[in-house]
């Protein structure tokens, strides 16, 4: 059938009316689409461009005859004949590529079948091997090969070849490569750089690596080239801490300790990561690092931490002494003084432990005093209070709570009378109530300041007293508070009084 169509096209070309007869013949046998397909395929097997054109030109012949009212299937009619135009389009493309590579300057005489067999990828590879980079790129663009597998790949090969050209200077090559590859997606500069390095051009390799956007990719090669400082800064730049660690660990094995520390010193990010590593893995190295930097503050902290890991008191105190020394060197008087206090406290606790058999070592000053009070060692508690200059307020609170806890009401009463309470007497009332001792609580109500009277009376449940105090103070909000606590059934009279007082208070 295709034969007839071919003949027809051929005749049509010659403007012969015979074509119509041929076409009708095919049409009658409803074989047009098959004939067209065969024509397209035949074109593929044809090497001579002119013949290819003839075979593919049917469409145009139909067009030309439109105005003659002959039987002229249009393209859309061809489509309705189930003839896929894609085949036609892709054949045109394939042929164009094939014709290009068949050119004598290229000299790859491929048949269409061979081409289909070996795929575009391989054809591009062959062109690349022949260093026909421009043609390879043209082919990729023409066939719309995805950038990654197409243009970018060719450019990479080109660059790899380029970097081996000995006659050109590093600058020229690097520039040329960067200009050509600028817009290409997914270029692995590190691969190109590796090539340059392998052909002995380390400087060029470093220049090329500058273009690599993936810092992660730069690092291994830089390490291989012994460019460790650069590798380290690239790793840091990537933000990938794991990569930084990898370089740091590599350097740790490669360099002597002094050089290694020096290098870290210039890279704060790496240094702090390494410190983290040491904190978990190599405590002693951590100390060396602080020493190197004369970081007395951190050294002090280091000793403090170490003191908690030691069970023996002597060792602990010795470590704390080292901390004190460091803190003084760091001009941190506060830390030094408080650390000295702690040493003093530890010694005191140890002494009392031995004398009285109370477990105290390691307690805070507050807890030590509380414990002492609870076992009745008031003198010793007082001594700590004075020695460590504990603020009065805090000591009063502490003693109040400790005695109430112990339910030593007698001692509490004595304590309350030693001098004027720096925390007032409302806490006395409240703490007693908390320990369910209303009787004791009431003893302190009268001592409470006028401002807190209402609260104190309410705390011990004395509604009358609270009302009295509130009315006396003519304080509206206090009156309201008392009112809200009154019960309508039992405190009826009281509420009336309060309401009256409230009215006058508001008036004022």
Per the CB < 8 A criterion, the answer to whether 356 and 377 are in contact is yes
As a whole number of angstroms, the distance between CA 60 and CA 13 comes to: 10
As a whole number of angstroms, the distance between CA 466 and CA 67 comes to: 116
Q: Does 246 bind other proteins (CB under 8 A)?
A: yes
Q: Residues 289 to 328: which contact other proteins by CB under 8 A?
A: 301, 304-305, 308
Task: Figure out which of the listed residues 334, 354, 357, 507 binds other proteins, where binding follows CB under 8 A.
Answer: 334
Q: Does 340 bind other proteins (CB under 8 A)?
A: no
As a whole number of angstroms, the distance between CA 473 and CA 470 comes to: 5
Q: Specify the residue, 17 or 338, whose C-beta has the smaller distance to other proteins.
A: 338
The position carrying tokens 């410190």 is: 275
Task: Figure out which of the listed residues 7, 75, 249, 506 binds other proteins, where binding follows CB under 8 A.
Answer: 249
Q: Is residue 119 classed exposed, middle or buried when 0-12, 13-18 and 19+ CB atoms within 10 A define those classes?
A: exposed
C-alpha distance from residue 352 to each of 5, 106, 289, 374 (Å): 118, 101, 39, 14
Distant-in-sequence, close-in-space partners of 10: CB < 8 Å, separation ≥ 6: 54
C-alpha distance from residue 227 to each of 72, 204, 220, 262, 282 (Å): 73, 13, 10, 15, 27
Q: Does 267 bind other proteins (CB under 8 A)?
A: no
Q: Does 134 bind other proteins (CB under 8 A)?
A: no
Per the CB < 8 A criterion, the answer to whether 304 and 326 are in contact is no
Per the CB < 8 A criterion, the answer to whether 40 and 55 are in contact is yes
The token duo for 297 is 């503050």
Contacting range for other proteins; rule: CB under 8 A; set: 106-114, 222-230, 360-368, 485-493: 360-368
Q: Does 265 bind other proteins (CB under 8 A)?
A: no
Task: Figure out which of the listed residues 147, 353, 405, 411 binds other proteins, where binding follows CB under 8 A.
Answer: 147
Q: Does 367 bind other proteins (CB under 8 A)?
A: yes
Q: Does 374 bind other proteins (CB under 8 A)?
A: no
As a whole number of angstroms, the distance between CA 350 and CA 181 comes to: 75
Q: Specify the residue, 2 or 454, whose C-beta has the smaller distance to other proteins.
A: 454
Contacting range for other proteins; rule: CB under 8 A; set: 54-62, 212-220, 226-234, 495-503: 212-220
Q: Does 388 bind other proteins (CB under 8 A)?
A: yes
Q: Does 363 bind other proteins (CB under 8 A)?
A: yes
Q: Does 266 bind other proteins (CB under 8 A)?
A: no
Contacting range for other proteins; rule: CB under 8 A; set: 1-9, 157-165, 202-210, 270-278: 270-278
Q: Does 498 bind other proteins (CB under 8 A)?
A: no
Query: Minimum Å distance from CB 206 to other proteins?
Result: 19
x/- site string to other proteins, residues 424 to 463, per CB under 8 A? ----------------------------------------
Q: Specify the residue, 206 or 323, whose C-beta has the smaller distance to other proteins.
A: 323
Query: Minimum Å distance from CB 244 to other proteins?
Result: 9
Task: Figure out which of the listed residues 238, 267, 349, 475 binds other proteins, where binding follows CB under 8 A.
Answer: 238
Distant-in-sequence, close-in-space partners of 504: CB < 8 Å, separation ≥ 6: 474
Task: Figure out which of the listed residues 255, 390, 483, 486 binds other proteins, where binding follows CB under 8 A.
Answer: 390
- Which string of b and e fits 412-447 if b means at least 16 CB within 10 Å? beebbeeeebeebbbbbbbbbbebebeebbbbbbeb
The token duo for 322 is 């080292």
Report the first-to-last Cα separation within the chain, whole angstroms. Answer: 119
Q: Does 233 bind other proteins (CB under 8 A)?
A: no
Task: Figure out which of the listed residues 4, 313, 361, 423 binds other proteins, where binding follows CB under 8 A.
Answer: 423
x/- site string to other proteins, residues 39 to 78, per CB under 8 A? ----------------------------------------
The token duo for 116 is 């289909």
Task: Figure out which of the listed residues 38, 164, 178, 241 binds other proteins, where binding follows CB under 8 A.
Answer: 241
Size of the site for other proteins (CB under 8 A): 54
Nearest C-alpha neighbor of 124 from the set 97, 89, 99: 97
Q: Specify the residue, 94 or 340, whose C-beta has the smaller distance to other proteins.
A: 340
Helix, strand, coil shares of the chain, percent, nearest 5, are 75, 0, 25
As a whole number of angstroms, the distance between CA 113 and CA 305 comes to: 78
As a whole number of angstroms, the distance between CA 355 and CA 372 comes to: 13
Query: Minimum Å distance from CB 299 to other proteins?
Result: 13
Q: Residues 7 to 36: which contact other proteins by CB under 8 A?
A: none
Q: Does 285 bind other proteins (CB under 8 A)?
A: no
Query: Minimum Å distance from CB 349 to other proteins?
Result: 12
Secondary structure string (H, E, C) spanning 55-76: HHCHHHHHHHCHHHCCCCCCHH
Query: Minimum Å distance from CB 323 to other proteins?
Result: 9
Q: Interface with other proteins by CB under 8 A: which residues?
A: 147-148, 152, 184-186, 213-215, 237-243, 245-246, 249, 268-269, 272-273, 275-277, 280-281, 301, 304-305, 308, 334-335, 338-339, 341-342, 345, 363-367, 388, 390-391, 393-394, 396-398, 401, 423
């Amino acid at each position: 059938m295709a034969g007839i169509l071919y003949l027809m096209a051929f005749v049509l070309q010659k403007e012969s009316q015979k074509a119509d007869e041929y076409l009708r013949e095919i049409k009658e046998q409803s074989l047009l689409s098959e004939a067209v397909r065969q024509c397209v395929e035949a074109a593929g097997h044809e090497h001579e461009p002119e013949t290819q054109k003839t075979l593919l030109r049917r469409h145009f012949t139909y067009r030309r005859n439109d105005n003659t009212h002959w039987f002229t299937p249009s393209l859309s009619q061809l489509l309705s004949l189930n003839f896929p135009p894609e085949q036609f389009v892709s054949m045109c493309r394939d042929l164009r590529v094939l014709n290009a590579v068949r050119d004598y300057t290229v000299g790859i005489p491929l048949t269409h079948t061979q081409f289909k067999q070996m795929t575009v990828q391989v054809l591009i590879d062959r062109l690349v091997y022949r260093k026909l980079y421009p043609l390879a790129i043209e082919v990729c663009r023409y066939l719309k090969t995805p950038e990654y597998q197409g243009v970018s790949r060719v450019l990479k090969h080109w660059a790899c070849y380029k970097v081996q050209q000995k006659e050109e200077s590093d600058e020229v090559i690097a520039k040329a490569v960067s200009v050509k590859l600028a817009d290409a997606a997914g270029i692995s500069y590190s691969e190109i750089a590796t090539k340059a390095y392998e052909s002995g051009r380390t400087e060029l390799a470093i220049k090329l690596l500058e273009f690599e956007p993936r810092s992660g990719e730069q690092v291994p090669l830089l390490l291989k080239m012994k460019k460790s400082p650069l590798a380290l800064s690239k790793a840091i730049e990537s933000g990938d801490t794991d990569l930084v660690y990898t370089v740091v660990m590599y350097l740790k094995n490669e360099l002597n300790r002094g050089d290694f520390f020096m290098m870290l010193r210039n890279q704060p990010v790496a240094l702090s990561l390494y410190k983290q590593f040491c904190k978990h893995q190599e405590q002693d190295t951590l100390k060396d690092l602080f020493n190197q930097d004369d970081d007395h503050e951190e050294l002090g902290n280091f000793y403090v931490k170490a003191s908690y890991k030691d069970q023996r008191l002597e060792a602990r105190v010795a470590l704390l002494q080292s901390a004190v020394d460091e803190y003084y060197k760091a001009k941190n008087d506060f830390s030094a003084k408080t650390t000295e206090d702690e040493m003093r406290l530890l010694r005191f606790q140890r002494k009392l432990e031995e004398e009285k058999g109370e477990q105290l070592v390691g307690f805070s000053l507050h807890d030590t005093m509380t414990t002492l009070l609870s076992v009745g060692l008031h003198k010793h508690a007082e001594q700590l209070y004075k020695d460590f200059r504990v603020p009065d307020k805090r000591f009063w609170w502490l003693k109040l709570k400790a005695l109430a806890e112990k339910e030593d009401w007698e001692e509490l009463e004595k304590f309350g009378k030693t001098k004027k309470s720096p925390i007032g007497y409302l806490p006395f009332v409240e703490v007693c109530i908390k320990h369910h001792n209303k009787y004791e609580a009431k003893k302190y109500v009268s001592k409470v300041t006028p401002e807190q009277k209402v609260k104190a009376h309410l705390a011990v449940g004395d509604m009358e007293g609270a009302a009295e105090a509130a009315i006396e103070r003519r304080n509206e909000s206090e009156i309201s508070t008392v009112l809200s606590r009154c019960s309508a059934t039992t405190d009826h009279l009281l509420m009336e009084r309060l309401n009256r007082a409230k009215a006058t208070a508001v008036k004022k």
